[in-house]
Structure 1
């Protein structure tokens, strides 16, 4: 903790900075005044402020002591020189001999060769680095711990001033934050385009009073807010009777942090140095986020994440901002969040026009819900939470994985044209909704939809789907905080069958594990969860859950036909064990006198290459097989579909993968096994056409894909497409290019 003299000097300096903020002056003039104030207060020859011009470039925006002609001329890349090193690592550099320090870069235009000592402090707000504050002197000395602390406090205020736009205006050093157009490149989570207004799942807390001239009053505010925070955590723990041990452990960690004396002492010291209570919380939160980013230990990262969440709660108490502020959701809302669970997403309902996440994964439950609702989704849009404000105009291009925030007119016009083209295409698809997907050769392909929510079912008739090829039952487990009861599941499954109005629904039993983890089940620490304890492996190891689900499905049928399939079968013995559980459930229901299904078909998901080469007896045992294309492709190519570096490297239409699919089709044909293909590729028109040409006669996809796929299939002659595929294979050419060229040469569909 800084000594009393330093705290007094710090308060004086912050008071002067507050006066500068209150002045009616341009941004550059403010910056010039600030570096002069800091240099004189610190009694050092040089004070400079470097700010980011773009994510990779720092610019000297103001200086006291260096050559004034270097302002706005000297720039460096992130990581370049000592200043770039501070910005990249977000760690202060304090050295008595700057030229000898690692990474030093001499900038002759600044005239800095006269200065030996160097102290650089990151200007950051909640983990977002905005620039670097530097002091230098001719004397070869390291700055004291008290001086470094004082600079950290000043850097915190500079970050808040930058956030509030204090350095903008005529002659400004940089344009105002949250007013510039910004583009973010993420990852495609769900196709489609949407234009709307930002709705932040966790609204930004804006600190408008970073400096205080009444430390005692601020200390009182801080202590009262922390008391309220502690009471709220205690209240949550008092209701822990309805929670499992894992949830209680999280709350116990919250309570430990909320009662941390060292955390409280650091914030109190920040307030005594002249910061407001809010700014003190943010200063410690920013430093915790830096430590979190550098922590290699997953457990430590989780604990620092808990502290980050606790700090957000404390800020909301202090400012009255954030959730539950009474703000109304805008028209055409686009949800922007770091990440979101399925329950929270379902609370928003279908009002959302788009979803943008900083984190997330292509196989997450949020992505599953977005696909079910045909809502454009972009994930891994790094940095958007720093820039976006509620109500900002936003364009979401789910096809390209691109997000435009506050776009200019040219971008908006081009995007409007794209949406209009998609609308016209949807009208064309609607005109063939009730027509069969019959190719020009006379072959008809059955098009089914994937679903996982009761809310999906109303789209069954409007989509033109002939049934539900995959109903994901895990969503009913994921959106709850505790295991659902058998009666609840029976009611849900019965409602699904009612909504299908006699059309076939293939229920996939619980597929959890990998990226889908139940909050009320003890998590497993696996190095590769996609290939670990998941799906049918969980079901067979926890037979009570599997039996409960099978009983609910049998009772929900109420005498109607029932289709059930088991996920992630890698060995025929797993299917036989699961089928045995189903047969036992049927027998128990018969003994209890319950109405049994009119007919039953029990199948398996083919998602592992091992199952392709099972004995013929397995293919005759199953009532049907459904190829789970997403998992099968990732295991075939050994390319994790959650890993952005490799997941797009391999093409579904690669010859080797098509050879595998050919083998599956032939084995099912020779054994009389009904076969379908389910997954993202089934809903992509070119891939769907190739699958049909290979011999798949049933495809299951998201509802919005049925129109585009049907439109292309009705234009095609499958025999000709098969010939194109074979010719490309034999010549060693790319199948995708050959098929795409053939499609472009075809006449319009006979609609």
Structure 2
């Protein structure tokens, strides 16, 4: 048995097909004609752009518009003056061959992004690698690997699969894949889940552990690969697959049903989105609304700020398609480690504590005002709610609210309609906000607890630091007590409170959050039906009677074990 990270769920049986990309010779060579070498580079970039455009077209047609934007971002990398000019300068100044220059300069950029904590920025490193590898292959006239016409129903085993590789996989030939490189938030993982191809990553030394023709069982949920399984292994996993498949069918029965517990407690299960096209997944999974629209993705992978009209069209599109269901839109959460070249933000030593989110917006007021106007204009067409991120003080919140009032007044003077009763909320993701949530609750209509950052700040753990990542734990007693305090303070002020961090989708956390009185869960669209099913099996009164005992436990692992046993008893 080999263990990795399950990045796309499902259980499959098949033969391994090891895919080793053609070796690229990146030997440093001295050249005589720099102009000729730059011409080679320009032609290779043009070919790369054409190939990526073709992949984007195919992705748009077979997977979806938002997934195609991954490759539109790749095209923008090919137009990035800093990267391309850096390669040309390398050729000009050192008189070296183009493929060597591409590899060196691209590696410099990749190292910068790899050193950042944010998963989105780390993925930008993978995008640069994908694009630079393509340029190098075109310089050397080497084709990327592909399956032969007579090969099908295989499980691909590879050191790495780029987003380009994954988007071009033929579902009729490929059952799943296993790689050494990659994580759950990578573009490759996202594409695998959309394509519904079970996949596992993070298996070091994979090419030595798995060989061409090996019989494999792949469990994408657990991240397990069984190599050359015994008859007993095959029988066990066939039974497990039946259970998994039946579970998916069971979840689908909860489509468009109310989210209600066994003892009649009704809550709301919303979905998170990054781009307007993600709305299709929200509707397909029967979410009761959108609990987090991450608007920063409208600002990324482009050369300039989106205009008020562009933003208005995007927000209006989502609100209209939700047909009156709530759409909670978070204002711009960018800066620090989320780089947008055209904003010319300075690199920071500690970006998570830096110039980002509401801090940037209150400083760059013209950017913030444009977004607020667009949001208000779109609110006339649906149930939009505005949410401010990373609020750390009452003063900060009031300053943001004042700007919203100015935007409303400007629209009134221009005779432009908007929803004058639009709800306003804020994220609780900074400990200071949680500690004075009783005061902040008097200023807004709702809270949304962002556990991803809140936990990180609470336990002083950099999630990207492998040595201490084990200390980042949603069942930390201090974290749980703070969440309960925020919910209690919100309800004391008669406002509702949701949660949009990863903890909201944790099945073992669900009973605790229900017992604490959380009103709304916002999760990835694919988790909506599973959560609704689990909720239907739970009694709030039962778990509530145990809440004080749980919150008195001193260790997170004890709490987690208790909740796992509770889940197994009531759900399985």
TM above 0.5, one fold?
A: yes
Whose relative contact order is higher, 1 or 2, with alpha carbons under 8 Å and at least 6 apart? Answer: 2
Q: Is the Cα–Cα contact under 8 Å of residues 254 and 310 in structure 1 kept in the other structure?
A: no
**Correspondences of 1:351-500 after superposition (within 5 Å):** 380=202, 397-401=219-223, 408=228, 418-500=240-322
Residue 271 of structure 2 aligns to a residue whose secondary structure is strand
- Gaps (5+ residues) in structure 2? 48-74, 116-123
**Correspondences of 1:14-93 after superposition (within 5 Å):** none
Q: Decide which of 554, 567, 570 is 1:743's aligned counterpart.
A: 567
Q: Is the Cα–Cα contact under 8 Å of residues 194 and 353 in structure 1 kept in the other structure?
A: no
Aligned equivalent of 2:475: 653
The answer to whether 1:501 aligns with 2:303 is no
TM-score, with length taken from structure 1: 0.58
Residue 641 of structure 1 aligns to a residue whose secondary structure is coil
The answer to whether 1:554 aligns with 2:376 is yes
Q: Is the Cα–Cα contact under 8 Å of residues 473 and 508 in structure 1 kept in the other structure?
A: yes
CA distance in 1, matches of 2:213, 2:303: 32
Distance of aligned partners of 1:340 and 1:716 in 2 relative to their CA distance in 1, 3 Å threshold: same
Q: Decide which of 25, 43, 50 is 1:232's aligned counterpart.
A: 43
Distance of aligned partners of 1:309 and 1:605 in 2 relative to their CA distance in 1, 3 Å threshold: closer
Aligned equivalent of 2:504: 682
Deviation at 1:364, TM superposition (A): 6.7
Deviation at 1:511, TM superposition (A): 1.7
Aligned equivalent of 1:256: 89
**Correspondences of 1:564-579 after superposition (within 5 Å):** 564-579=386-401
Deviation at 1:533, TM superposition (A): 2.0
CA distance in 2, matches of 1:311, 1:263: 18
Aligned equivalent of 1:673: 495
CA distance in 2, matches of 1:670, 1:409: 57
Q: 1:390-447: CA deviations, max 9, x gaps?
A: 999997655445578xx54557876665444322101111223233232233211211
The answer to whether 1:533 aligns with 2:350 is no
Q: Is the Cα–Cα contact under 8 Å of residues 380 and 419 in structure 2 kept in the other structure?
A: yes
TM-score, with length taken from structure 2: 0.74
CA distance in 1, matches of 2:154, 2:280: 22
Q: Is the Cα–Cα contact under 8 Å of residues 634 and 641 in structure 1 kept in the other structure?
A: yes
CA distance in 2, matches of 1:349, 1:540: 45
CA distance in 1, matches of 2:514, 2:205: 42
Aligned equivalent of 1:593: 415
Aligned equivalent of 1:204: 21
Deviation at 1:624, TM superposition (A): 0.7
Q: Decide which of 512, 522, 525 is 2:344's aligned counterpart.
A: 522
Deviation at 1:460, TM superposition (A): 3.0
Deviation at 1:467, TM superposition (A): 1.0
Aligned equivalent of 1:35: none
Deviation at 1:692, TM superposition (A): 0.6
Q: Say what the alpha-carbon RMSD is for the aligned residues.
A: 5.2
Deviates more, 1:459-468 or 1:605-614: 459-468
CA distance in 2, matches of 1:412, 1:564: 51
CA distance in 2, matches of 1:716, 1:634: 29
Distance of aligned partners of 1:533 and 1:669 in 2 relative to their CA distance in 1, 3 Å threshold: same
> How many positions carry a matched residue from both structures?
525
Give the number of the structure whose alpha-carbon radius of gyration is greater: 1
CA distance in 2, matches of 1:723, 1:549: 45
Deviation at 1:556, TM superposition (A): 2.1
Q: Decide which of 484, 492, 499 is 1:662's aligned counterpart.
A: 484
CA distance in 2, matches of 1:345, 1:505: 34
CA distance in 2, matches of 1:349, 1:495: 31
CA distance in 1, matches of 2:296, 2:315: 12
